[in-house]
Structure 1
Amino acid sequence: MSIIPADQNLFLVDIEYVVDLALVEPHMQAHLAFVDEGYARGFFLASGPKVPRTGGSIIATAPERSMLEEFLARDPFVTEGLIAASVTEFMPRRTVTGL
């Protein structure tokens, strides 16, 4: 059984900080609450910081790209102008069992 519903598309969200990390930290709790909402609403499958910590990455799913982009626009990191994010839709041809 797949964790990706048949009517969903997959996306890679690449996030880069555009300000010093010290300016990001005060908004981290609000961002993490937003991430929790992304999981609760079924958008996010995996997420976390990059190494080194220059931003983050999200593997997401949504019926349409526009739905995901509208949701991502509410991220406090976006509304505060702390990040640049790019969304890439992709079609997985192979996955591990369960994905």
Structure 2
Amino acid sequence: MNDNVIVIADVSSSYFSVARYSGGIKYNGTVYIYCRERDILVREDWEKFYRKLPWETFITAVKTGKKPELPKKPARVKAQRKEQPDNQPSLFD
């Protein structure tokens, strides 16, 4: 288990502000990704949860320290080829 901080807030007004220009930092051996929309640094292994979950759900998960299960994508259905109508000749025959 990683005991490092998960989210660092108010990056612009702290000594972590250099992360705004480089896209993130490495602090105490842990990589953090800068998220401009909320001015936060998110630990690298939590970033996909930040991107895919609503903010309230993400913060709840951070407070507990347990990664939630991400919502599943619906299965992609392959587009079936439509048959050419009988009255329209194919250009490829």
1 or 2, which has the higher helix percentage? Answer: 1
Q: Which has the higher contact order (CA 8 A, sep 6+)?
A: 1
Larger radius of gyration: 2
1 or 2, which has the higher strand percentage? Answer: 1
TM-score normalised by structure 1 residue count: 0.27
